[in-house]
Structure 1
Amino acid sequence: MNIELKSLRSLELEDSLINYWPTDPVNFSCWVRVMIGPKDQDGAEAFDMLVCTPVWLQQELASNKVLSGKGMIIIEVYDYDEILSYLEKKIIACDDRDWSKAAIKLSRFSFWEYEDYQP
């Protein structure tokens, strides 16, 4: 099974990420939702990540002292194309014959909507 990124959007911004440019591109953070699913099939599941810069992280550490690194994409300066390229490479690396196994791999670097689901 081949998996692919179906969509990428911000959970915080009204504007599309592709059209967005932050006021300070070196001091930036934004939660994003990546919809990923099997290629050539309908349907996708949500994986959330925080995209941020090292400057933003330093400011957060100054007030919070400790942060968790799961679900973070750290980029030197905001660049939509770099973020998209990084995600596409990570997604391809998580490909598996079974969707549930691929989703578990994806959840290692993101927050999967079904991560703690217990039927």
Structure 2
Amino acid sequence: MKAKLKRIDTNSAVPLEKFQPEDPGCFGFWLNASIGSDETEGADDFQILVCNREWLEREKKLQTKNLERYVVLDGEYDMPSIMEALTKYLDGCVGNSWTEIVVQISKIGVWEFEGYKA
């Protein structure tokens, strides 16, 4: 079983294909990625912070909270590069169960059920 990206959006009213950060040279924004198993139709949502090194360094200086999970890119904003990096990472997320795969995806994003207790 492996992870498969089923849908992705900017977590806002702006469609992904029209999204542009204010400063393409220093950007950080959240993506909502619906990711599921390649063996099923369903998907779970993961919030993924996508940023470049300049933005990350600036935010680490400004914030007191810890930025633990993110996808960092070199250079300026480029959606094809972002999609390529995300797809490459997800291609490596394999396991015998969905739970095993979620642990791997959660290294870069926040799972919608993280911390949930029945």
Structures share a fold, TM > 0.5? yes
RMSD: 1.8
Distance in 2 (alpha carbons) for counterparts of 1:100 and 1:62: 35
Q: CA deviation at 1:92?
A: 1.4
Runs of 4 or more consecutive aligned structure 1 residues displaced over 6 Å after TM superposition: none
Moved more, 68-77 or 44-53: 68-77
Uncovered stretches (5+) of structure 1, i.e. residues with no partner:
none
Name the TM-score, length of structure 1 as normaliser. Answer: 0.84
For residues 11-38 of structure 1, the C-alpha deviation after alignment (integer angstroms, 9 at most, x for no partner) is 2x42222222233201211111111001
2:9 alignment partner in structure 1: 9
Does the CA contact (< 8 Å) of 2:3 and 2:35 recur in 1?
A: yes
Aligned-residue identity in percent? 27
8 A contact 2:2–2:93 mirrored in 1: no
- 2:22 aligns with 23
> 1:89 is aligned with what amino acid?
K
Aligned residues: 117
Q: In the alignment, which residue of structure 2 is the partner of 1:99?
A: 98
